[in-house]
Amino acid sequence: MKPSKTETGDGGLLTFATPALEFTVSTAYGPRVTALRSLRGKAGNLFLDLSGAPRYHGYYLRGGHRLWHSPEDIVRTYQPDDLPLDVKFLSEGVSLTQPVEEKTGLQKAIRLETPADRTVKVTHRLTNLGLWAVEAAPWALTMLRKGGYGVLPLLPKGDHAKGDLLPTYSLVPWSFTDLSLPVWQMHRNFIGIEVAKAKFAQKLGITNYPGWSAYWVDGTTFVKYAPVLRGATYPDFGSAFETFTNGAMIELETLGPIGPIAPGKTVTHVEYWTVLDGLPKPSTDKVFDGQLAPAVNAWIKTLK
């Protein structure tokens, strides 16, 4: 797939499209995915655009989708990604590789492919080109614009009377998280996130879940999926997924297992994205159970 349109200049933007969706990447910094749109919906760019915002701990957040390495550290994590990328066009997408981070020896790369009209496969790679092993996990963060509703599905319920005696997951709140706030909406099969009700920063992790999360805004639902690897060790008290919101945006974040990355070695973390049009806001059990979850599960079955 060749880009459907290009924009040169400081942004160095390339846009790729299928009949159902399009995404835009930058070649001048990153790797970053700056935009994702459904071509059949009316929501426009689902991703947050922070172009022109000031640096945060020396790092331009810029918005969109990015690759970091966990656990979060004020120096290591916030290494600038301001340099042009190595760009390779693929038959179904593009591969973007940054120069090696000088202070960490790590090199980030993102590969985007479209195996189906409504599916984007996003492969994240961390390669250690330094002299020593680095303890880290790949961390894929998608920043989505304000005004919508986030969904974190929970594992199916068990039955104590039938012998379900052990826990299946843990919730991991951050020190500033307040689960009594109306931003968090607890349902039987999911946790809802009402972004507009977050008046200050909130973050929550989960150790085990169905592998997908969703964000509804203006009639279009963005879904990302990364299966949880059984027996793997994840960072942040075992979090395979994390979400952050401050009312101005929301992040849906998946993580890979944490461990030492030896010199010359690469770790890989794969996500799949889709966009669903026409679903109502999934803030009720009826919509989640009857419409959103069945649509997502049907899509997941198509993935290879």
pLDDT in tens, 209-265: 999 999 999 999 999 999 999 999 999 999 999 999 999 999 999 999 999 999 999
Where does the chain have alpha helices with state H?
A: 235-238, 285-287, 293-300
Domains of the chain with CATH codes: 5-300 (2.70.98.10)
Per-residue pLDDT tens digits for 10-29: 569 999 999 999 999 999 99
pTM to 2 decimals? 0.96
Model confidence at 156, pLDDT cuts 50, 70, 90, reads: very high
State the pLDDT at residue 304. 75
Q: Is the dihedral of CA 248, 252, 258, 263 positive or negative?
A: negative
Model confidence at 1, pLDDT cuts 50, 70, 90, reads: low
Per-residue pLDDT tens digits for 171-205: 999 999 999 999 999 999 999 999 999 999 999 99
Q: Is the dihedral of CA 63, 139, 270, 184 positive or negative?
A: negative
66: three-class secondary structure by DSSP:
strand
> In this prediction, what percent of the chain has a pLDDT beyond 70?
97
Per-residue pLDDT tens digits for 34-72: 999 999 999 999 999 998 888 989 999 999 999 999 999
Task: Answer whether 32's CB lies under 8 Å from 142's CB.
Answer: no
Model confidence at 5, pLDDT cuts 50, 70, 90, reads: low
State the pLDDT at residue 301. 98
Q: How far is CA 182 from CA 33, 185, 243, 286, in A?
A: 31, 6, 16, 20
State the pLDDT at residue 3. 75
DSSP 150-205: EEEE-PPP--GGGT--S----EEE-TT--TTSTTEEE-SSEEEEEGGG--S-EEEE
Q: What tokens appear for 129 in the block?
A: 């080109």
Q: What tokens appear for 33 in the block?
A: 């995915």
Task: Answer whether 198's CB lies under 8 Å from 246's CB.
Answer: yes
**Please, what is the average pLDDT of the chain?**
96
Interatomic CA distance for residues 152 and 241, integer angstroms: 9
- pLDDT greater than 70 at residue 9: no
